[in-house]
Chain A
Amino acid sequence: DAGVIQSPRHEVTEMGQEVTLRCKPISGHNSLFWYRQTMMRGLELLIYFNNNVPIDDSGMPEDRFSAKMPNASFSTLKIQPSEPRDSAVYFCASTLRGGTDTQYFGPGTRLTVL
C-alpha cells in the first residue's frame, strides 16, 4: 500500500495568497484527520471527517481555513488568504474506522508564508 499521500511536500508562498494542501488517504479508510505542527503549539488537530462528512472542526483556527472531502479518496485543506503565522507542517492522517484504530500519517506539507 502506498500509505497516506500528501502534496505538495513543500510550499512557499507570499502573504495574502491562497494555499491548497492535498491528501489522499489509504484506500478503504473511513476517517481522515488534518493536523498542524509548530514548535510553539505542538501538534494540533484542525478537523476530521468520518465517511467524508466533517465531524469536528473546532480546531480550525479561523474562517481563513476550510477543508473539504468530496470523496473517500481525496481531501483538501485551503487557506485564503494566507498569513506568516500559518507557517507550519500540515499532516493528514487516516484510520480504518477511527476510535482506537491506528492513525496512519502522511509525510506532511511544510508551508512557509513570507
Chain B
Amino acid sequence: GNSVTQMEGPVTLSEEAFLTINCTYTATGYPSLFWYVQYPGEGLQLLLKATKADDKGSNKGFEATYRKETTSFHLEKGSVQVSDSAVYFCALTYNTDKLIFGTGTRLQVFP
C-alpha cells in the first residue's frame, strides 16, 4: 500500500542553521506530495506541495523537490529561525481524496 516514512525527531538546530528533514514514500503510481506544518496548539497547515515528478514546491523559505528516482520529497531551508519550531508532516495522496501522513518530525530551533 501507499505509505510515507519520515526521519525521527526531534531535530535540534541553532538559529540560521541549514535544515533537512527526510521524507520517502511508497506508492503504486505517481502521487502528489505535501509538507504540512503544525505549530504548538494549532491545527496543521499546508507548507508546500508538488504534484508531479521534478516539481519543486516552495514557501516561506522552505523547499522540497519531488524526486521520482529516489521516491523522496525532502524538506530544506537554508537558514532556520526560532519561529520555525514546529512539527512537520510529509504526506501523499494518489487517486483518492485521502491524505496519507508520515509520523511527523519535531523541529526545535534555539537562539
Complex contact B99–A103 (CB within 8 A)? yes
Complex contact B98–A100 (CB within 8 A)? no
Closest chain A residue to B103, Cβ basis? A42
Complex contact A105–B45 (CB within 8 A)? yes
Beta-carbon contacts of A82-108 to B below 8 Å, as 1s and 0s?
A: 000000000101010011101111111
Complex contact B97–A50 (CB within 8 A)? yes
Residues of B within 8 Å of A56, CB to CB, are 98
Tell me if A4 is interfacial: C-beta within 8 Å of chain B: yes
**A interface, how many residues as a size bin?**
20 to 34
Complex contact A107–B42 (CB within 8 A)? yes
Residues of A within 8 Å of B32, CB to CB, are 99-100
Residues of B within 8 Å of A43, CB to CB, are 44, 89, 101, 104
Closest chain B residue to A92, Cβ basis? B43
Please tell me the number of chain B residues within 8 Å of chain A, measured between CB atoms: 19
Interface secondary structure of A, over-half rule:
strand
Complex Cα distance A103/B44, Å? Answer: 9
Residues of B within 8 Å of A103, CB to CB, are 36, 44, 46, 99
Residues of B within 8 Å of A4, CB to CB, are 43
Name the distance in Å between A114's Cβ and chain B's nearest Cβ.
22
22 A–B contacts from the bound complex (CB under 8 Å): A31-B97, A42-B101, A42-B104, A43-B44, A45-B98, A45-B99, A48-B97, A48-B98, A50-B97, A91-B43, A93-B44, A99-B32, A99-B97, A100-B49, A100-B51, A100-B93, A102-B46, A103-B44, A105-B43, A105-B44, A107-B41, A108-B43
Known A43-B101, A50-B97; further 12 A-B contacts with Cβ < 8 A: A4-B43, A43-B104, A45-B99, A55-B97, A98-B97, A99-B96, A103-B44, A103-B46, A104-B45, A105-B43, A105-B45, A108-B42
